[in-house]
Amino acid sequence: MARPIWHGAINFGLVTVPVDLYGATEDHTISFRQFERGTSDRIRYKRVNERTGAEVAFADIVKGAEVGGGEYVIIEPEELDEIAPGRSRTIDISSFVALEEIDPIHFQKTYWLAPSKEEYGKAYGLLLQAMRKTNRAGVATFVMRGKEYLTAIRAGDDDLLLLTTMLFVEDLRDPAKELKSLPEITPARGKELDMAITLVDSMTEQWNPADYHDTYTQRVEKLIDDKKAGREVVVGEEPSSPTKVVDLFEALSKSVESRKTRRPTSPTPSDDLDTLSKADLDKLARELDIKGRSKMTRDELQKAVAATTRRAS
């Protein structure tokens, strides 16, 4: 069972709701260790005093802010807490906005917020239901681990409040300053633009996160297994070449035609649905336009697909 990584309270108006913060995501990327080539010797890093070369205990390390000329001001952790008393214990909602008004470039990481005790459930549920009814997100700030965060709080699908940390506007780079030059957009010719819109429309689907998986990590895992077993490593496909300007309309046309020739891979009564994964069943359910599929378990999806297929046949 996960442990909360932060304790505090949500403030909106004169209402205060004590909550606990939990991590809602995790990084499943494969971790590699470093070795010296040709040996089995691990490479390790130590925190050392650059003057003496001696290793320094983590408890003896403090922060230093450079003020110019090689000079630093040393800051103790307690001093950071003292300049903003209470800020690290409250999430202060300053306003409510429509979630779609927030540019996704601001989004960072998402957490769960849960009432810290059962007795706070009523006020917690009131805030959740109000935001769900109004389709609004609460914009708030709070301090965690010595850093202030701008956040968006919203109602999730599992009757939980979600908190997503966001970048401040000062954190966003100006592309005009960072890029060598901004792209010059040539006005699209009418038939090319119409064909591009047709292609976009033909590729438009309902968003379903279960359709997407980290295939690169799967390839890395296979690489590790193959090398461990002494098998030949299969090289991946080379990336596609850029489309030439003179071939743009032809490429668009062929893309649209290829989409038109595709047909839904709906199962026949003879298909063995028992062998399909939840993601495969969900894809079939979407093609069959089965309502409520996003909330179904794997077994419920299998029954719904089978029943719809029987009716269609």
Range of the domain at 124: 6-26+82-169
Give domain status of residue 288, yes or no: yes
The mean predicted confidence, pLDDT, of the chain is 85
Closest CA to 149 of 136, 161, 131, 163: 163
pLDDT in tens, 130-140: 999 998 999 99
Q: Which segments of the chain have a pLDDT < 50?
A: 263-264, 268-270
Say which CATH number the domain at 136 has: 2.40.290.10
Q: Tell me the pTM.
A: 0.67
Question: What pLDDT score was predicted for residue 239?
Answer: 67
Integer Cα distance of 55 and 74 in angstroms:
19
pLDDT tens digits along 273-302: 877 777 778 778 877 878 788 778 888 888
Identify the pLDDT of residue 242. Answer: 62
Task: Please give the helix or strand (H or E) that residue 225 lies within, else none.
Answer: helix 215-229
272 and 156 together in one domain: no
Same domain, 12 and 130: yes
Residues 135 and 20 in one domain: yes
Distances in Å between the Cα of 33 and the Cα atoms of 36, 42, 105, 227, 297 are 10, 7, 32, 16, 38
Structure confidence at residue 274 (pLDDT)? 76
157 and 291 in a single domain? The answer is no
With respect to residue 285, please indicate whether it lies within any of the assigned structural domains.
yes
| pLDDT score recorded for residue 87 | 57
**Domain end among 113, 141, 169:** 169
**Per the domain annotation, does 241 fall within a domain?**
no
Q: What is the pLDDT of residues 162-185, one digit of tens each?
A: 999 999 999 999 999 999 999 888
Residue 61 belongs to a domain: no
Q: Rounded to an integer, what distance in angstroms lies between the CA atom of residue 304 and that of residue 285?
A: 8
Closest CA to 305 of 286, 295, 109, 294: 286
Domain count along the chain: 2
Structure tokens at 277: 């994964």
**Do 152 and 277 sit in the same domain of this protein?**
no
- In single-letter form, the type of residue at position 153 comes to I
**Which of these three, 136, 153, 169, is where a domain ends?**
169
Residue that finishes a domain, picked among 150, 169, 188: 169
CA distances from 248 to 141, 169, 196, 239, 255 (A): 47, 37, 10, 18, 11
Assess if residue 44 is contained within a domain: no
The verdict on 153 and 12 lying in the same domain is: yes
How many other CB atoms sit within 10 Å of the CB of residue 79?
A: 11
